[in-house]
Chain A
Amino acid sequence: MASGNDSTLSLLQGTLDLLILQALAWGQMHGYGISRLIRERTNEVLLVEDAALYQALHRLERKGCIEAEWGVSDNNRRAKYYSLTTAGRRVLRREADEFRRYVGAIFAVLDPA
C-alpha cells in the first residue's frame, strides 16, 4: 500500500504499523494521542505525516489488528478510540522480534564488536 509519506526520514515498510501497535499496547488511544506519543518518544526525529498515520490506522483496523469505537474525549468532543485486539497483540510481538533481529543484524555489520 502506497504511503503518502516520503518527504522526511522515510519509514521502512511496516515500521509505522509497529509503532502504532506498540503505542496501543499501552492502552486505548485516539489517533491524535498516537501521533503525539510518536512525536514525543522520538523527540520529533521521525516526522510522520498524520495522513499516513491515519491511513495505517484504518488499514490495521480493517485487518483486525486493532479495533475502534467512538467515544467522547476529555474536552467533550466525539473522538475515535483505537485499541489493540488479541490478533494485533500477536502481530506486535512477532513484528517487534523481527525488527529487533533485523536492526541487530544491521548493527552487527555497522559496529562490529
Chain B
Amino acid sequence: MNIGRVFRRLIELPTRSRHRIDRDLDDEVAFHLEMRVRDLTRLGVPEADARRQATKEFGDADRFKRVVGREDRSAERDRRLTRWMRDFSYDVRFAIRQVTRSPLFATIAILTVAIGIGANTAIMSAVRGIILRPLPFESPETLIRIYSRSDRLGPTAVSVPDFIDLRAQTVSFVGIAAWYATTTNLSGVGEPERLDIARVSDNWFDLLGVRPKKGRTFVAGEDVFGTPVRAVLSEALWQRRFGADPNIIGRSLRLDGAPVEVIGVVANTGTFPAGTELWTTTRFSPDDLVSSSRGARWLRVLSRLKPGVSLAQANEDVARVARLVEQRDPGHNRGYTAFAVTLQEAIVGDYRRPLFILLGAVALVMLVVCANVAGLMVARTAARDTEIAVRSAIGAGRGRIVRQLVTESVVLALAGGALGLALGVVGTWLLVHWAPPEIPRLDDVGIDRVVFAFSLGLALVTGIAFGLAPALQASRHDVRTRLQTDGRGMAGRSGSVRLRRLLVVSELAVAIVLLVGAGLLLRSFANLQRVDPGFKPAGLTAFTVTLPETRYPKDEDQGRFMERALAALKALPGVEHAAASFGLPLTDTRFQLSFTIDRKASTDPSFEPRGQVRVASADYFQSMGIPLVKGRTFGTQDRWGAPSVIVVSQELARRFFPNGDAIGHYIETGWGRDGHKLGGEVVGIVGDVKQFGLSIDAPPAYYAAAEQWPTDEITFALRGNSESIQLASIRAIIRDIDAELPIFDFTNGESLVRASLAQPRFYLLVIAAFAAAALLLAVIGVYGIIAYTVRQRTREIGVRMALGASAGKILRMVVGEGVALAAVGLGIGVSVALAVTGEIRSLLFQVNERDWVTLVAVAGVLVVAAVSACLVPARAAARLGPQEALRGD
C-alpha cells in the first residue's frame, strides 16, 4: 500500500507540481526557439545567427518563466482549492444522505461518540479550570507562596518573626505579604452570621494586583498594631448581605461585636484564600513580634517574583535567609528552613494527580469509543463493498473513495461531537455539584473556548481516525474480484472481520483496565466505610459558635456562656447528652502540642511526647460515643479552680507511657494562659478517634476539661434523636443567651462521616461511570461481531445441523467464539491493568493495587457480559432449522 499516494490524493496535492510547471515552461520556450532556428536556417541564415535572432525575438525568457511560472502556480492552487471544495461539499452532502439512509447505524455511532466527547469535555473542563487555567490575578505565574519546613514535620506555615526576616532580607521579590484565614461573627444586619475572612498585610491587594471596585484597599501602615480595624468586602458579600448598597463605603459593621468601618469592595476574582468574603489587616501585637513567637508557625506568606528571577533562585534566596535566622536563633529555628512554590502549585498541587487519573480514565473511554465506531464503520463499509467497487470501476480514484468514506465518519463524529458538547455541559455541571467542596477552584470550572476547541478537535480527530482504517481497507481490494463475487467475496470479508475482532478485543482490554480501576476504588471505599471512626455517628448532632473577645474577654465569661448553653440544650426534648468541646473528629482541626511527663524534659530529642489537644466537657465522651477504656472521664468535680485533669487517648498512652499506663502521671504543655500551663493529672484513657479522616490513622490525642479550659470556639455535641433536634430550636436557645452569636457548621454524625468519604466517593463514582460506559460499548462491540459472523455462517451452521449437530452444540459454538474474544481481551487487559494500576495507588486505602479479588471479580463480570452479548445471536443460530439455514444467505 502506497500511503504517500493515498495521502496525496486525499488532500489533493497538485496534479501539476511546481517542478512540473517549471519544466513545462522550459519545454515550451525551448520548442519555440528550436522551431524558429529551424525556420531561419531553412531561409539560409547561419545557425549561430539564427539562434541569436530567435533569442532576441523572444525577449527576456528568464523573466517570462519567472513571472508566468508564478502566475501559473497560483492559478493551479486556486483550481485545486475550488475542486477540493466542490468535492468536499459533494462528499458532505453524500455523507449526510448515506448516514440518514441508515438511521440505526447513525444513531448508535453518534450516541457512542457523544458519550465519549461528553465525558472528555466534562473532565477536560475540570482539568482546565482547576489546574491549567492561570489564577485570576495579575501575572499569576510570578506569585509565589513561601513555607517553612521542619526536618521532622515537613512543610509548615511561617512564624511572624520569620516572616518579618524574610520580608527584610530576601532579594528575589517585588513584595512579600502575609495572610491567615480566620472567622468572624458579623452581626447588626439580619441574622448574625459567621464569615470566613482573611487577615492580611497592608500590601496584600497591591501584590495580587487586585483593584477595588469601590472605595479603596489597604494602604501602607494600616496593618500596624493599634490602627483601627477596617474591612474590605467581596462583591458577593456586598450584594448578599448589604443589597449592593451604593453607600457601603464608610458604613460601620459589627464584627465580633465591635464596630468596623468598610473601606472598599473588591471583585470576586479576589476571593483568595478560598471562601474569603471579607478582609481585615494583620495588626500583629508586640507579643507576636518577640523572638519566642518564632515557634508559633501559623502565618501564610505570599510573594511576587521580581522580573527575571526564577523560582530556583527564589528558593535559594529564602533558604539563605532561613539559614541566617537558624544561626541567630537556634533555640526556635534549629532544623527549620524555608522554600517557595508557585501559588498555583500551592493551591492545586494535591489535586493534580487525581485529576490526571480521571483524565487518563476518560481518555481510555475515548479509545473504546473510537474502536467501537471504527468497528461499526468497518462493518458498514464491508456491507458497501459492491457500491465501492462500482464507484471505483466507473473511475473514482482510491483517494477519492477513501476521502468520501472519511468524510462520512467525520460527519458522524462531528454530529456526535455536537451532541457530546451538550452532554459535556451537563457533565461539567454534575461534576462541579458532586465534587467534594475541598477541591479548589471549582468556580473556575466551565467550558471555555479552549475546552470547546479541544472537544471539537477531539471529535474531528476521532472521525478521521476511525474512518481512515476501514476506508483504506475497503478501497484496497481489486475491483474485479469484488464485482464478480457480488460483494460476497470472502477475501474482502475475512479482512474486515479480522479487523473488527481486533477492535473488539482492544475495547474489551481497555474496559478491563477501567473496570479494574473502578473495582480497586470500590474495594478501597468499602474498606473506608468499615473503618471505625472511634465515635458513634448515629444520633449525634453538632454545631459551633465562637465567642468574640470583645464581649467574652475572660475565661470565666466563656465558661459561664458554656454552662448556660449546656443547661438549656440538655433541657431540649430528645437530647440525652449535651457536651461542649473544641475540635470535632473527622474535620481538619489541627492543634498539636508537645508535653512533658511528670515535669521531666524528654532526654531523647527524637522522642518528644506530642499529641492533638482537644477540650471536652463532662458529658463529651457519652455524647460522642467514645468508649472509656480505663479510669474515669471528666465529672462535675473537675471545675474551674479544681486540680487540672487530663484524659488521654489509647494511642497516646501506648506511645508515650510504659505498658500504656498513663493514669496518675502528670502531663504539662508549654502553652497556657494567665500564668498556668495547659496540663494535669491523667485520670482516664479513652478510645482512639479518627481526627483527620477515615483513611488517616488516629493520632495520639489528649483532652482537657472544658470547665477548666474554656475556649472561644465551642462545638456543642448533642446525642439523642437527631430528627427532633432542630436548628431553629437551637438557634432560639443561643439567641436567648446572646442575640449576636451566629451558629455555624450545624451537622450530624452521619454527615461528618459522609463528608470525610466525599472525595473517595467522588473518584469512585466518576471512574465507575467511565468503566460502565466502556464495558457497555465493548459488549455492544462483541454483540455486533458475533451477530455478524452468525449471519455469515448461516450456511455452515445449516450444514452442521444437517449433519446432526444439536442446537446446544451450535449455541456453544457461537458463545465459545464470544468467550474466546473475552479471554484474549481479558489477558491483554489484565496485563495492562497490572502495569498501570500503580498510578492510582495514592487513591487506594488498604487495597493492594494488584488485588486478586478485584481481578477475579472483573474477569467474572467481563465473561458474563460477553456471554450475554453472544446469547441473542447464538439463540437465533440454534433455532434455525437446517433447511432454512441452507436456503439462507
Contacts and interface: CB of A to CB of B under 8 A. Distances in A.
A50 interface: yes
Interface string B27-40: 11101101110110
B381 to A, nearest CB: 37
Interface in B1-46: 24, 27-29, 31-32, 34-36, 38-39
B666 to A, nearest CB: 104
A80 to B, nearest CB: 5
A51 B36 contact: no
A54 B28 CA distance: 9
Contact of A35 (B32, B64, B72): B32
B72 A58 contact: yes
Given A4-B64, A58-B72, A62-B71, A52 B27 contact: no
Contact of B28 (A31, A36, A59): A31
B59 A32 contact: no
B272 to A, nearest CB: 63
A73 B39 CA distance: 14
Interface string B52-68: 00000111110110011
A32 B36 contact: yes
Given A55-B68, A58-B68, A58-B72, A30 B31 contact: yes
Interface in B396-447: none
Interface string A22-63: 000000001110011000000000010111101100110010
Contact of B35 (A32, A49, A59, A70): A32
Contacts of A85: none
A13 interface: no
A59 B31 contact: no
Contact of B24 (A32, A75, A80): A80
A54 B31 contact: no
Nearest to A31: B32
A100 interface: no
Contact of A78 (B31, B32, B57, B61): B31
B31 A55 contact: no
B567 interface: no
B491 interface: no
Contacts of A55: 64, 67-68
B857 interface: no
A78 B72 CA distance: 19
Contacts of B31: 30-32, 73, 77-80
Contacts of B36: 32, 35
A73 B75 CA distance: 27
Given A78-B31, A79-B31, A80-B27, A51 B71 contact: no
Contacts of B64: 4, 51, 54-55
A78 B27 contact: yes
Interface in B65-122: 67-68, 71-72, 75
A31 B31 CA distance: 9
Nearest to B32: A32
Contact of B72 (A32, A49, A62, A77): A62
A47 B31 CA distance: 20
A75 B42 CA distance: 14
Contact of A5 (B24, B27, B59): B59
A52 B59 contact: yes
Nearest to A2: B67
Contacts of B32: 31-32, 35, 50, 54
A47 B53 CA distance: 13
Contacts of A4: 59-60, 63-64
Nearest to B36: A32
B443 to A, nearest CB: 59
Contacts of B35: 32, 73, 75
Interface string A63-79: 00000001001010111
Given A32-B31, A58-B68, A80-B27, A50 B63 contact: no
Contacts of A30: 31
Contacts of B60: 4, 51
Contacts of B71: 58-59, 62
A84 B67 CA distance: 23
B58 A51 contact: yes
Nearest to B61: A51
Given A55-B64, A58-B71, A50 B58 contact: yes
A90 B31 CA distance: 30
Interface centre among B29, B34, B35, B58 (most CB of A within 10 A): B35
Contacts of B28: 31, 54, 79-80
Contacts of A50: 32, 57-59
A63 B24 CA distance: 19
B408 to A, nearest CB: 33
A55 B68 CA distance: 6
Nearest to B27: A78
Contacts of A35: 32, 36
20 contacts: A4-B59, A4-B63, A4-B64, A30-B31, A32-B36, A47-B57, A49-B59, A50-B58, A50-B59, A51-B60, A51-B64, A52-B59, A54-B32, A58-B71, A59-B71, A73-B35, A75-B35, A77-B31, A79-B28, A79-B31
Interface of B: 24, 27-29, 31-32, 34-36, 38-39, 57-61, 63-64, 67-68, 71-72, 75
Given A49-B59, A51-B58, A70-B24, 17 more contacts: A4-B64, A30-B31, A31-B28, A32-B36, A35-B32, A49-B57, A50-B32, A50-B57, A50-B58, A50-B59, A51-B60, A51-B61, A58-B72, A62-B72, A75-B38, A79-B28, A80-B24
